[in-house]
A and B are shown apart, each in its own frame.
Chain A
């Protein structure tokens, strides 16, 4: 997806993710923060988003993740209070540097394993995995019969699974 394509739908997406935040936090300030963070994440992920796909479904999933992340920080700050300034800085960062490295490593391994998939397999894998669509929704959007969707998603998952295990052993 190009920047201009994203900017074209950004206002509509923002309203949708703001609703996710409002449902979760029940206050506009936190919901606005979550929506802002979601839009930033989507902007960073822009080059991996296929413009023809369901961007709203992905945005909602990212928004839910941002809400949970913010919620965890709030909970953590409430528990700790203002005793330890260093700890507060750690909470602001969200996750530790080690966790960040592990997450990056996981993402790299997964990307490498997914690179082995055929384009159609990859498309279906991502629709199920990243956009969070059900098999019925994938079948409806791609106009592929449901049994074929199941078979292709299964083949894709087994390939990625085998490749991940192989790379983890190295």
Chain B
């Protein structure tokens, strides 16, 4: 803020037209000077410690919002990397499963043998998982749809 800006703000202050935010800004500006001109010193006294303290409080809070702490930055990086890794792993497993099923046109008996009256798709899927017979849920749904 230039000296002219400060003087304009002081004139506005004395005219009773400044907002509390402008008064805080003025208090912070005047605090930075070592040897204030008499007029400015008087305004600084009038603004007082309460306005200055409030201005500093708000400035610190605003600064914190702009700049997250090192811990938060680290946590954000770790969580981003973990999310990317999990997504990659999911697609990798999907690809592996699809390739293995495409290698054979023959539909293994256990795909359909699990289905009986009242069985749900989830029951079959769960059963397949426990028997270590890997097949994705999507593949199973596709096969049921194709009536294989």
Contact = CB atoms under 8 A, between A and B. Distances in A.
Interface of A: 23-24, 61-62, 64-65, 67-69, 71, 103, 106, 109-110, 128-130, 132-135, 149-155, 157-158, 160-161, 164-165, 168-169
Is chain A's interface secondary structure helix, strand, loop, or mixed overall? helix
Contacts of A130: 48, 50
A67 B14 contact: no
Contacts, number: 81
The interface residues of chain B, by DSSP majority, are classed as helix
B77 interface: no
B27 to A, nearest CB: 11
**Most chain-A Cβ atoms within 10 A of its Cβ — which of B45, B48, B60?**
B45
A160 B56 CA distance: 25
B19 A132 contact: no
Given A154-B14, A161-B42, A68 B60 contact: yes
A90 B110 CA distance: 81
B53 A161 contact: no
Most chain B CB neighbours (cut-off 10 Å) among A109, A134, A169: A134
Interface residues on B, range: 20 to 34
Nearest to B39: A165
Given A154-B14, A154-B17, 6 more contacts: A110-B46, A128-B16, A133-B20, A152-B16, A165-B42, A168-B41
B123 interface: no
Given A168-B38, A168-B41, A65 B16 contact: no
A129 B60 contact: no
Contact of B14 (A61, A65, A71, A161): A161
